[in-house]
Structure 1
Amino acid sequence: MEEAMGNTALCSAKRNGARSRSKLRLAIKGSMITAMVQLGIVGGVLAVWQWGVQAGIISNFLVGSPAGIFVKMWQAMLDGSLWMDTQTTLVEAIVGFLIGSLVGSVVGLSLWYSPIFARIVEPFIVAINSVPKIAFAPMVILWFGTGMISKIMLAVSLTAIVALIAAYEAAKNADHDLQALLLALGGTKHQIFFKVVVPSTLPAMISTFRINIGFGLVGAVVGEFISSSHGLGHMIFNASSLYDLNSVWVGLFALMFVGFVLYYVVDSIERYLLPWRQVEANQRLRV
């Protein structure tokens, strides 16, 4: 009897293992197909673009061409200017993104502790958020100089307010029934905050971090537009003033690549902190 049960369990384990391997192969195959389609779209757009330039349908002066972009990119990579400019912008954007997102999230969550204080400061937060943060750029440059610090502070000004509002709204809308239950069981306000409010706000905050990646890059690039000697913004500004559209595209593509890498990093962090979100997404795809 025991031997029969052991054989049954072994067969069941083998079936589950085969099913898991089949699902993994299907997932890999799906990812490869998706990547191939995406590469095909990019290649098709570049091919049509290059054909349009050669046929005289698209203006090379106003739009540039893929061949010219490749030449400019190769030259910038050889002389090291592309790596230097990308590194400068990347450091400015990452530091500004981290400081702004973390400080904004902490302040937004702390407003949960005092609803009265939150109602008092909420109009001021809304007023600050309604002003385009780029308008603060001249003052930030004046206060912090033309170096890297001013670009970081611009990135902080763009990301902090977004993270603050998102964290505050998520904390305000945390599960009230669960909070009441924990309070009825004798939980303190600190326990409710760390065991209910913070976990429930993590998905909203991480989603905000995805948005703040772009805002961090915007702050760094705008600061480089105004006053800088390095960075992708400086590269794009100089190229556009010389009507060198191919170099402008090189800077734009470098920014896209940086944004993609940072987005992937945030996505990896979300998978680590919130593994159940990935399970839910896979279930929705199967449906």
Structure 2
Amino acid sequence: MSALFDKTWARQAFALAVLLISWEVLGRAGLISPFYAPPPSAIALALYELFADGSIWQHLIATLSAALAGLAFGLLLGAVLGFGAAMVRPVADIIEPVMILLNAIPRVILAPLFIIWFGIGLGSKVAVSLVLVAVLIFFAVYSGIREVDARLVERVRTLGGGRMTLLREVYVPSVTAWILGNLKVAVGFAFTGAVVGEFVASSRGLGYLLSFAQSTYNAALTIALIVIIMGFVLILFGLAGRVERRLLHWRYA
């Protein structure tokens, strides 16, 4: 398995190297316009300049704070609403249509409204991330509870298990698996919400820098910022994967 893993990473690294070298050569030969697709060397220079003066860190911290806060509150709100809707039918009759409607529309279009409500500070970015994550987790929890095997529930009740036993021994393990299975998607949604909120209106953050790069037609800076965002998301994906494997070790075993 380790040999296969090493070979896979080697092939991926080789393919990436070929792509970057070809891109650089074609760009220097004038076959690719640097205005639209600047060569990797120009993107690397833009990355260096972002980190050289240290100003990038305040923008990284702003985006990361909004994304992680939105992720945490979205996980909590989605789980609570999902549990309530799955366990109490009248609650489901009220909440489920709202969640279906929010899921049907591009939720990032709510960003301008949140900025009107909460201003251009951290609150509006957290709100956008929260909504994106909460809708996803709601359906994960709601579906996780509703798809629990009814025979298993009956057996627990037959053995004298009450509502708390069902929650602890049946519903919570099932819901945990569904939440962790969607955790990587939730991380991506949280970052999307934070960056989109900053892009619409903000005084700092990676989305603010992206808006500046767009307004100045700086493709190298734009791609450099995209690379930074992708790097942070991949790091969080890795952490989420470790949490999933640790808490769901029985599934991987």
TM-score between both structures, scaled by the size of structure 1: 0.84
The one-character-per-residue Cα deviations of 1:201-252 (angstroms, maximum 9, x if unpaired) are: 2221112221111111111011111111211111111111111111001100
3-state SS of 1:61 partner: coil
- Asked whether 1:157 is paired with 2:123, we answer no
- Asked whether 1:246 is paired with 2:220, we answer yes
Structure 1 moving runs of 4+ over 4 Å: none
1:138 to 102, 106, 112: 112
Deviation at 1:33, TM superposition (A): 2.4
Deviation at 1:47, TM superposition (A): 0.8
3-state SS of 1:63 partner: coil
In structure 1, what is the Cα distance between the partners aligned to 2:157 and 2:45? 65
Quick check: which one's helix share is greater?
1
Larger Rg: 1
In structure 1, what is the Cα distance between the partners aligned to 2:220 and 2:114? 31
In structure 2, what is the Cα distance between the partners aligned to 1:53 and 1:164? 47
The match for 1:88 is 62
The match for 1:172 is 146
In structure 1, what is the Cα distance between the partners aligned to 2:229 and 2:7? 26
Contact 2:84/2:92 (8 A) holds in 1: no
In structure 2, what is the Cα distance between the partners aligned to 1:94 and 1:145? 19
The match for 1:260 is 234
Q: CA RMSD in A?
A: 1.4
Q: Amino acid of the residue matched to residue 201 of structure 1?
A: V
More displaced 10-residue stretch of structure 1: 253-262 or 99-108: 99-108
The one-character-per-residue Cα deviations of 1:58-100 (angstroms, maximum 9, x if unpaired) are: 1110111100011111111111122322222111111111110
Deviation at 1:120, TM superposition (A): 4.4
2:52 to 75, 78, 81: 78
The one-character-per-residue Cα deviations of 1:171-212 (angstroms, maximum 9, x if unpaired) are: 100121111100111111121122101101222111222111
In structure 2, what is the Cα distance between the partners aligned to 1:67 and 1:177? 61
Contact 2:84/2:91 (8 A) holds in 1: no
2:37 to 57, 63, 67: 63
Where does the alignment leave 5 or more consecutive residues of structure 1 unmatched? 1-26, 280-287
Contact 1:151/1:220 (8 A) holds in 2: yes
- For the structure 1 residues 212 and 76, does the alpha-carbon distance in structure 2 shift closer, same or farther, using more than 3 Å as the test? same
The match for 1:103 is 77
3-state SS of 1:128 partner: helix
- For the structure 1 residues 48 and 152, does the alpha-carbon distance in structure 2 shift closer, same or farther, using more than 3 Å as the test? same
Identical aligned residues as a percent: 30
The match for 1:188 is 162
- Asked whether 1:272 is paired with 2:252, we answer no
The match for 1:7 is none
The one-character-per-residue Cα deviations of 1:22-50 (angstroms, maximum 9, x if unpaired) are: xxxxx443333222222212211111111
3-state SS of 1:229 partner: coil
- For the structure 1 residues 117 and 92, does the alpha-carbon distance in structure 2 shift closer, same or farther, using more than 3 Å as the test? closer
The match for 2:88 is 114
Q: Amino acid of the residue matched to residue 79 of structure 2?
A: S
Q: Amino acid of the residue matched to residue 42 of structure 1?
A: L
